Chains A and B, each alone.
Chain A
Amino acid sequence: MSGFLSSSLARKYAMALSAFFLIFFLLMHVTINLLSVCSENAFNVASHFMGTNPLIQFAMQPILIIGVVFHFVMGFVLELKNKKAQGVKYFKDNGAANSTWMSRNMIYSGLAILAFIVLHFIDFWIPELKYKYVDVLPEDPNRYFHELQHKFENPLRVGAYIIAFVFLALHLLHGFQSAFQSMGLNNKYTKGFEKGAKAYAIVIPLLFIFIALFHHFNH
């Protein structure tokens, strides 16, 4: 088993499985955010549930953080190992002739997403922790929608979010279908997975951008 865990293929499986987990989380996140466009009350109810349910707070949230950290750390480890395997660089290398920009630059789109997650934590997660565990303010089930609207008043923040979601789309365009390939799901019966993964990679970031713009222009 130790041979398996240290193998290059085990690293591929680990990256793919953590990617599937994060992709599922994104779907859940965008679904709840979309509620804010449809109904203030529905968004508050969902956010209140997510923010106070012990199972979400003390089981799912730590798992999510571990998943995010693992995916990033493993991504950097793989990048360093691959750089080491390359040896001398080519004098002329025409990568665009045989692969997409997204596939060759996952580390950079990943770094942009990492920067966004830091911003997102500063914007939402840290104030939430402060509200609950530092200031120990009484829980107000109706505060979430107005907090969200307030965040998207600043056009600079909205711009930063839009840029980050473009990088997210680029990362997913290669990453999602690549995760299927890593898990061995690429044969004549699975061609639909690739199309579905590409659709997801475009639609989900577009929805996040729409939500940010919606609240910017409707506060």
Chain B
Amino acid sequence: MNLTLKIWRQKGPNDKGQMVDYKVTDISEHMSFLEMMDVLNEQLVAKDEEPVAFDHDCREGICGMCSMYINGEAHGPDRGITTCQLHMRMFKDGETITIEPFRANAFPVIKDLVVDRMAFERIQQAGGFISVNTSGNTQDANAIPISKHAADDAMDAATCIGCGACVATCKNSSAMLFVSAKVSQYALLPQGQVEATDRVLNMVKQMDEEGFGNCTNTGACEVECPKGISLENIARMNREYLAASLKG
């Protein structure tokens, strides 16, 4: 496959940045998208040009590091995948592919396609955990009865890898799907009940302080989420937050 790539190049956080065109040739349809980016970067290095900076780590859809906005969609035109799981067979020979970083004020660009997603970490630190006294007498989690339905829903919410596709694809740059998944995975389990009130209040407070937008329920986040996190989690967080606010 021969392709034209329109890629966002930005030297640093304070650089204005611009779209730059590149040509890549002899790309196999069996390559992953990131392998195609590796080919491009090898070409650039060979020409003594600056390679395109992009985030990646596990390259098997688990770590949540890769984050590209490809042809107008977070993680590209396929569904239920991260950028590293996107394959070149999804594109046509001769196609022009636009590649941009995830956009949101709360995700400032560091360089080229790399964005700072530490806002998610700070939201997690605000309440996305269960305090466990590891005194040596910790109860085995399997000893606590949990219904299959609750366990399944909690597990589904816990599959969120925090990649930020929900924010990138949302026209409001809202982080509600991410935060609601983190709230839900604990709210559904008995172990999460003790800190439930503080958790949802603190995480939503931190989310607002980070400058994410307001959710208007377009549902784009659910469609683009590589892990299929459901909008039901946002509804659950809305209930949790209302109850926590009334409880105080």
Contacts and interface: CB of A to CB of B under 8 A. Distances in A.
Interface of A: 1, 3-4, 6-13, 78, 81-82, 84-95, 97-100, 103-104, 106, 174, 178, 181-187
A82 B8 contact: no
Interface string B229-240: 001101111110
B6 A91 contact: yes
Contacts of A91: 6, 8, 19, 98, 100
A89 B173 CA distance: 11
A85 B232 contact: no
Contact of A87 (B69, B105, B215): B105
Contact of B215 (A12, A92, A93): A12
Given A12-B214, A85-B173, A90-B72, A95 B104 contact: no
B76 to A, nearest CB: 10
Interface in B69-100: 69, 71-73, 77, 98, 100
Contacts of B238: 9, 12-13, 181-184
Interface stretch (B27-35, B126-134, B202-210): B202-210
Nearest to B212: A85
B208 A81 contact: no
Contacts of B237: 9
Interface residues of B, number: 50
Nearest to B101: A88
Interface string B46-89: 00000000000000000000000101110001000000000000
The 9 closest A-B pairs by CB, nearest first: A94-B72, A85-B213, A184-B239, A186-B235, A82-B172, A98-B223, A103-B218, A184-B238, A178-B217
10 contacts: A9-B241, A82-B216, A85-B173, A86-B171, A86-B213, A87-B107, A91-B19, A104-B171, A178-B216, A181-B217
Contacts of B214: 8, 11-12, 78, 81-82, 85
Interface of B: 6, 8, 17, 19, 69, 71-73, 77, 98, 100, 103-108, 169, 171-174, 201, 204-205, 207-208, 211-220, 223-224, 231-232, 234-239, 241-242, 245
